[in-house]
Amino acid sequence: MTISLIMFLVFVAVTLGITYWSAGRSQGSAAFFTANRSITGWQNGLAVAGDYMSAASFLGIAGMIAFYGYDGFMYSVGFLVAYLTVLLLVAEPLRNAGKYTMADVLAYRLEPRPVRAMAALSTLTVSTFYMIAQMVGAGALVSLLLPGVPFYVAVIGVGAIMIVYVVFGGMLATTWVQIIKAVLLMSGTFLLSVFVLAHFGFDLGRFFRAVTHVSSHNHGVEVVRNFLQPGLKYGPPYGALDLISLGVALLLGTAGLPHILVRFYTVPDARTARVSVVWAMVIIGLFYIMTTFLGYGAATIVGQDYIKVHGGTNMSAPLLAQVLGGEIFFAFISAVAFATILAVVAGLTISASTSFAHDFYTNVIHHGRETNPGEEVRVARITAFVVGAVSMGIAIYLGQGVNVAFLVGLAFAVAASANLPAILFSIYWRRFNTSGALWGMGAGLVSSIVLVCLSPSVMGAKALFPLENPALVSVPIGFLASWIGTLLGKPHGRKDQFDEMHVRAHTGLGAEKAGGH
Amino acid sequence: MPEETPQDLTPAPGTRPDPRGGSGPTPLHPEPGTVDWKAVAQMPEFQALVRAKFRFIVPATLFFILYYFALPVLVGYFPELMSRPVLGPVNGAYLFALSQFFMAWILAALYVKVSGKFDRQAREIRQKVLGAKGEHR
């Protein structure tokens, strides 16, 4: 265990060094929130990938495939294809027309204050749910690796380091933490995949034949199943609908995740935003294809029976590393998992605090004027601290028993139902207006939270709503409410405001330039 | 919020907040209000750009949504069909799932290929608009 601790401390030391280096370069809003829009395409691509491949991906999907086979792989597919929505519909117009946050695009031609207030609310909701999931994962991982360390100490430790990154280093430090983490995660996953293939003599046929005969014990009785067969998790009667609903949440939610969207403001122009999405798609795609080897490797080589009594589903990937590569490899993979969590939490914190400081504090309370120079950044730093402390508190309160997948699923569902309709309509629909945005975001936010509360994830067998993921219902509600709200509301502002938005989004005329302060 | 949406399209620079909110010196280029957005929106070059973009984006989006949702629909409603081994022990469900990755990469590559042309068109429009105002990029 001490080796993994040392590796983890090395990662923390290096990243704190980066934070110290970037602290001097993070003065002023553009520098703090967007790293002066100076990040290059491949750097941002790696950072997007780093922001996206969370503990839920590395630990969660590996575990899901190890226990449910094919159905777990459905997550991997959705997580990648979702980037086509980002690439084709959102990234470039957002970069061209926005400044620091997703709400900048909405506030463009809608009434700024109510729309920003609502967008800040949904951003904080999505980020907090996502963050609590990461913190719970981190706490559980630490207490498994270092049995002497209690859950709450682990959560506070992770939270404290993350706050330091964001408060002192801003977007520049956060970006580099993501890049390092993405490289570590990819190398760890690649090595693990090679080990798995080596175990089967680099014979894919042998590997897949083993996957079709996975054995486990249920109450002492041996069960042999084909793990390439769909339906082991999402079976009848609602399995098919649940798979489709999950698909909707992933496909449309990714393009509404605030911590992914803010990344497109860190690059100099729309072309670089596009290049960075493509880089991210290459990395993310390779990673998720390799989850085949991680998950099925854990199922065939380690076995469910062993994983169940050694930390449960989430420990599938680290245990696979232990069995195949011994203690040092186990330590390395565990350190990678820590790094993953730490980096994602930092990315979430900066997007939440940017949204609060820029949308709510400066634009809603102070009508878009900064009363004192540097105030926006000061507020963001304070917010980062508060958001961090609050989610640490909630994570400790919920304890490690809470279902992490449901928190992440909720974050995606809220992003898909509340944020995406507003983003798409404000970019592409001339008639869209303030009341449409408020109705859509409000209805999407409320319906997804309510449906999750009524779902089997929360209510168990007595659930009033049969699907685990609410997106199949809440996304149409979000779009429909935006449409109805628009028809009932009044247009706002100048007649040519859509023209302005339209021209800016597609030509980059008047887009924010790199450099700045 | 009348002060945030003035009817006067050419205010002196700095007299109104950046419509996207924010603070401090606005690094906007050109200054807000110096471009006649409606006129640009009606330029034939701009309309050609938007048409060309949509001609790619709309079918591409429809295609990937259909291709993607075919997976959970087939796997969810026809599990026996999809479980048949196709390539050695590997079944249709896994191969179709794997094909989604390549579909996404190929579509992204195609988009990058055509978007080079969009970039050129956008640059020409920017030069025309800013050049007419005597500004330099």
Distance of CA A93 to the CA centre of its chain: 21
Q: Please check the confidence at residue A77 and state whether its pLDDT lies above 90.
A: yes
- Packing angle, helices B44-77 and A497-507, rounded to 10: 80
Structure tokens at A299: 């199922």
Task: Using alpha carbons only, give the angle A238, A240, A242 rounded to the nearest 5 degrees.
Answer: 65
Q: Distance between CA atoms of A129 and A185, rounded to whole angstroms?
A: 23
Q: Please check the confidence at residue B107 and state whether its pLDDT lies above 90.
A: yes
The reply to whether A430 touches chain B by the CB within 8 Å rule is no
The reply to whether A206 touches chain B by the CB within 8 Å rule is no
Beta carbons of A109 and A426 less than 8 angstroms apart: yes
The fraction of chain A above a pLDDT of 70, given in percent, is 94
Question: Is A244–B93 a contact, with Cβ atoms under 8 angstroms apart?
Answer: no
HSE-CB for B92 with a 13 A CA cutoff: 13
Structure tokens at A272: 């670089």
3-state SS, A146-161, equals CCCCCHHHHHHHHHHH
ipTM score of complex: 0.88
**What pLDDT sits at residue A405?**
64
Q: Distance between CA atoms of B101 and B11, rounded to whole angstroms?
A: 50
For A69: left if phi > 0, alpha if psi spans -120 to 50, otherwise beta; the answer is left
- Burial grade of B6 (CB within 10 A; 0-12, 13-18, 19 or more): middle
Question: Is A500–B37 a contact, with Cβ atoms under 8 angstroms apart?
Answer: yes
Per-residue pLDDT of A378-389, as tens digits, reads 888 888 888 888
Cα–Cα distances (Å) from A81 to A98, A174, A383, B108, in that order, read 25, 25, 33, 10
Residue showing tokens 């603070």? B23
The reply to whether A232 touches chain B by the CB within 8 Å rule is no
Contacts of A98 in chain B (CB under 8 A): 20
Size of interface A-B (CB pairs under 8 A): 223
Run of H or E residues at B70: helix B44-77
Mutation for B interface: A88, A241, A496, most B CBs within 10 A: A88
Per-residue pLDDT of A39-50, as tens digits, reads 888 888 888 888
The letter for the amino acid at A139 is G
Number of H helices, E strands in chain B: 4, 2
Which residues, including other chains, have CB under 8 Å from residue A498's CB and lie 6 or more apart? A109, A430
- How would residue A371 be classed by pLDDT, with cut points 50, 70 and 90? low
Structure tokens at A174: 């956060």
**Least CB–CB distance from B61: residue in A88, A103, A277:** A88
Q: Please check the confidence at residue A271 and state whether its pLDDT lies above 80.
A: yes
Beta carbons of A210 and A300 less than 8 angstroms apart: yes
Structure tokens at A385: 């601290």
The reply to whether A88 touches chain B by the CB within 8 Å rule is yes
pTM: 0.86
Q: Please check the confidence at residue A238 and state whether its pLDDT lies above 60.
A: yes
**Least CB–CB distance from B72: residue in A240, A370, A512:** A240
**What pLDDT sits at residue A88?**
92
The better pLDDT of the pair A451, B21 is held by A451
- State mean pLDDT over A272-278: 91
- Packing angle, helices A170-199 and A270-297, rounded to 10: 40
Q: Distance between CA atoms of A53 and A139, rounded to whole angstroms?
A: 18
The better pLDDT of the pair B41, B23 is held by B41
The fraction of chain A above a pLDDT of 90, given in percent, is 24
**What pLDDT sits at residue A137?**
77
Task: Quote the strand ranges of chain B, DSSP E.
Answer: 85-87, 90-91
The reply to whether A117 touches chain B by the CB within 8 Å rule is no
**What pLDDT sits at residue B32?**
54
- How would residue A495 be classed by pLDDT, with cut points 50, 70 and 90? low
Contacts of B4 in chain A (CB under 8 A): 112, 367-368
Q: What is the mean pLDDT of chain A?
A: 84
Question: Is A370–B24 a contact, with Cβ atoms under 8 angstroms apart?
Answer: yes
**Least CB–CB distance from B101: residue in A80, A97, A516:** A80
Residue B28: closest CA among A358, A369, A96: A96
Task: Quote the strand ranges of B11-136, DSSP E.
Answer: 85-87, 90-91
Is beta strand B85-87 parallel, antiparallel or unpaired with respect to A221-225?
unpaired
Question: Is B21–A107 a contact, with Cβ atoms under 8 angstroms apart?
Answer: yes
**What pLDDT sits at residue A507?**
84
**What pLDDT sits at residue B28?**
39
Per-residue pLDDT of A294-338, as tens digits, reads 999 999 999 888 888 877 777 888 889 989 988 888 888 888 887
The better pLDDT of the pair A297, A515 is held by A297
Please confirm whether the linkage preceding A421 is cis (ω < 30° from 0). no
Structure tokens at B88: 């050695």
Which residues, including other chains, have CB under 8 Å from residue A291's CB and lie 6 or more apart? A57, A61, A62, A65, A72, A73, A76, A189
**What pLDDT sits at residue A197?**
94
Q: Distance between CA atoms of A120 and A356, rounded to whole angstroms?
A: 6
The letter for the amino acid at A364 is V
Per-residue pLDDT of A11-39, as tens digits, reads 788 878 887 777 776 667 777 777 778 78
The fraction of chain B above a pLDDT of 90, given in percent, is 38
Q: Please check the confidence at residue B29 and state whether its pLDDT lies above 60.
A: no
Chain B nearest-CA distance from A492, in A, is: 9
Q: Please check the confidence at residue A225 and state whether its pLDDT lies above 60.
A: yes
Beta carbons of A423 and A102 less than 8 angstroms apart: yes
Chain B nearest-CA distance from A141, in A, is: 30
**What pLDDT sits at residue B137?**
41
Question: Is B112–A278 a contact, with Cβ atoms under 8 angstroms apart?
Answer: yes
For B56, the closest chain A residue by CA position comes to A88
The DSSP bridge partners found for residue A218 are A221
Structure tokens at A474: 């809440």
The better pLDDT of the pair A449, A365 is held by A449
Structure tokens at B15: 């007299």
**What pLDDT sits at residue A417?**
94
Residue A264: closest CA among A87, A419, A112, A21: A87
Question: Is A78–B83 a contact, with Cβ atoms under 8 angstroms apart?
Answer: no
Run of H or E residues at A225: strand A221-225
